[in-house]
Amino acid sequence: MVALTARSENTQSHDRLTMQIVDLGDETIAIRSLDWDRDRFDIEFGLDNGTTYNSFLIQSEKTALIDTSHRKFQQLYLDVLKGLIDFSTLDYLIISHTEPDHSGLVKEVLQLAPQVTVVGAKVAIQFLENMIHQPFQSLKVKNGDHLDLGNGHELEFVSAPNLHWPDTIFTYDAKTRILFTCDAFGMHYCDDHTFDEDPELIEADFKYYYECLMAPNARSVLSAIKRMEKLDINTIATGHGPLLQHYLSDWVSCYQKWSQEQAKTDTLVALFYCEDYGWSDQLARAIAHGVQRNGVAVELVDLNTAEPHEVREFVNQATGLVIGMPSQSNQNAHAALSTILAAAHRKQAVGLFETGGREDEPIYPLRNKFQEIGLTEAFPPILVKEPPTHITEQMCDEAGTDIGQWLTRDRTIKQIKAIDNDLERALGRLSSGLYIITAQKTDVTSAMLASWVMQASMNPLGVAIAVAKDRAIESLLHVGDRFVLNVLEEDNYQSLMKHFLKRFPPGADRFANIKTYPASNNCPILADALAYMECEVTTRIECSDHWIIYSSVQTGRVAKLDAFSAVHHRKVGNHY
């Protein structure tokens, strides 16, 4: 084992950043970037013990690098790599998924090794193309595909969607019996131990990480564990924290037990699609993203390979069904559709989408059959004739949001009713203003009526807004995104309020028949608003069912100096 220590050079913080290089035997090396002082991971959770970003190198007849590191390790990581390999001999860069803590240095590796072939799931390669804006050679792999590095290092790829990103794949090396799982089975824990020899030290972090990242996708965890069963695994090489070797079966059993318990209580959408047909993967994942916004679980089921009993089981467990139309010639998918129709029942909600594969099974006859059975249509059929754009993805995301909201409506009503009458009326006495948030990201626009808005800082100027987690606009309000805060005018807000309170079908233009003009940050300013401010999101804080979004304010203007802002008086405080 070699440990290199150096302070972070690319930040002004005094975080301790060190590298650990460990020979795992059989031409395999772990390159671990140790981030000792990181105290928060994204917005998701606070960290007590830092974290690590683990990358792996297999140097056989062919050389493969599995994942890279976080950008903050750029100098350290690339220096280590330069000492281990001649970049001109790097054959493959395997991307387990495309989150920046593992793919943050892909661009730099590509510059040093332009000949390298990037290996990943189809969606991962698409994400990367959008991320690094330069051509590269790629190999798209799916579940069960193999890649031979020579000398017994026969790699097998295991699809593990949603663990914890939609594009996740595991990589199994038949020679070393190591399964490289990136986020799955990981933990945010940083110390000098490479392995899990002391489970008491890490079990709390292992469980906390599972609860934050994996529990929302419990069924996907169970599917991945099922796929792992046929592999003879000696080590699970995770992307975060120590590698699992000494108590391997215990760790996997924990994931299985926790996921089984979690899956029992989840509301589930079974989303059937055909990997590698048309744009099915991309559209399915956008819909899944919208569904999950409501805290509803999604199981992605590939109609190409699903066994009839699996299909039946998913339909039986699900309260929502979403189907991407297969090709007319796909026999396996047709058999699966028959199984779905036989098992579906009237208490379920359903949504259908075309995949843009050009030979899609027609959508309307299937829609009619579901209507005959009595299922509720959660969103109108999505018809895709052209390659999907950001707008198509947004439409799919909103369709997913709609089905998620439909499936959770009983829960929402129950929560509303659970609050004591006196308390809900007291909460209702908290007055507020009336605002329209308008946002644009790439060519996607959205808007929402907001009442929880307030100035939150003076230097720099900042505002805070609350956005319910199940609002589709939430995806346009991440750190760095821009929006306009439109202030409505007293006695002149009813038509705008009515318009933006409407329920819009997925993909509908929120600004049709509304007068707007572009702000300098490109977001729409409502011509009839009393005032506007151009804002940029700085921080998001998770507050149970809402995000509190703190944003800096760049510029603003008042249309009528003598007019007052609209004030919103509510009757109750437990729902909108």
Binding site for ligand FEO (CB under 6 A): 97, 99, 101-102, 164-165, 183, 239-240
| Of the candidates 384, 219, 187, the residue with the CA atom closest to the CA atom of residue 313 | 219
Residue 103 C-beta: closest distance to ligand FEO, Å = 9
Q: How many CA atoms lie within 13 A of 266 on its CB side?
A: 28
Q: Which is nearer to ligand FEO, 237 or 514 (CB)?
A: 237
CA separation for the pair 259, 272 (Å, rounded): 21
Residue 163 C-beta: closest distance to ligand FEO, Å = 9
Residue 136 C-beta: closest distance to ligand FEO, Å = 21
Residue 122 C-beta: closest distance to ligand FEO, Å = 18
Q: How far is CA 479 from the centre of its chain?
A: 15
Residue 241 C-beta: closest distance to ligand FEO, Å = 10
Q: How far is CA 180 from CA 155, 187, 355, 389, in A?
A: 10, 14, 31, 33
Cβ(293)–Cβ(287) below 8 Å: no
Task: Please say whether the dihedral angle defined by the alpha carbons of residues 28, 34, 39 and 40, taken in this order, is positive or negative.
Answer: negative
Residue 422 C-beta: closest distance to ligand FEO, Å = 45
CA separation for the pair 342, 567 (Å, rounded): 53
Residue 101 C-beta: closest distance to ligand FEO, Å = 4
Residue 98 C-beta: closest distance to ligand FEO, Å = 9
SS3 label, residue 324: strand
Pair of tokens at residue 427: 């909460």
Cβ(240)–Cβ(99) below 8 Å: no
Which residues have CB under 8 Å from 311's CB, separation 6+? Answer: 272, 301, 336, 339, 340, 343
Q: How far is CA 525 from CA 2, 453, 502, 557, in A?
A: 57, 17, 19, 11
Residue 205 C-beta: closest distance to ligand FEO, Å = 14
Cβ(472)–Cβ(397) below 8 Å: yes
Give, as one character, the DSSP assignment of residue 213. I
Residue 459 C-beta: closest distance to ligand FEO, Å = 35
Pair of tokens at residue 428: 């209702």
Q: How far is CA 195 from CA 53, 66, 244, 495, in A?
A: 14, 18, 6, 62
Pair of tokens at residue 233: 């695994």
Residue 239 C-beta: closest distance to ligand FEO, Å = 5
Q: Which is nearer to ligand FEO, 209 or 379 (CB)?
A: 209
| Of the candidates 436, 445, 432, the residue with the CA atom closest to the CA atom of residue 395 | 445
Cα dihedral 49, 31, 54, 58 in deg (nearest 10): -160
| φ, ψ of residue 537 in degrees (nearest 5) | -70, 130
Q: Which is nearer to ligand FEO, 108 or 183 (CB)?
A: 183
Q: Which is nearer to ligand FEO, 71 or 334 (CB)?
A: 71
| φ, ψ of residue 84 in degrees (nearest 5) | -100, -35
CA separation for the pair 384, 391 (Å, rounded): 11
Q: Which is nearer to ligand FEO, 104 or 507 (CB)?
A: 104
Q: Which is nearer to ligand FEO, 123 or 526 (CB)?
A: 123
Residue 102 C-beta: closest distance to ligand FEO, Å = 6
Q: Which is nearer to ligand FEO, 55 or 551 (CB)?
A: 55
Q: Which is nearer to ligand FEO, 50 or 239 (CB)?
A: 239
Q: Which is nearer to ligand FEO, 32 or 164 (CB)?
A: 164
SS3 label, residue 337: helix
Q: Which is nearer to ligand FEO, 62 or 97 (CB)?
A: 97
Q: Which is nearer to ligand FEO, 103 or 446 (CB)?
A: 103
The overall longest dimension of the chain from CA atoms, in Å, is 80
Q: Which residue is nearest to ligand FEO (CB)?
A: 99
Q: Which is nearer to ligand FEO, 32 or 510 (CB)?
A: 32
Q: Where are the beta strands (DSSP E) in 111-183?
A: 117-120, 137-140, 146-148, 154-159, 169-173, 178-182
Q: Which is nearer to ligand FEO, 55 or 405 (CB)?
A: 55
Q: Which is nearer to ligand FEO, 164 or 219 (CB)?
A: 164
Residue 51 C-beta: closest distance to ligand FEO, Å = 8
What does the buried/exposed string (b/e) look like for 447-477 if buried means 16 or more CB atoms within 10 Å of the residue's CB?
bbbbbbbeebeeeebbbbbbbbebbbbbbbb
Element at 257 (helix H, strand E): helix 248-265
Residue 18 C-beta: closest distance to ligand FEO, Å = 18
Residue 514 C-beta: closest distance to ligand FEO, Å = 38
Q: Which is nearer to ligand FEO, 43 or 454 (CB)?
A: 43
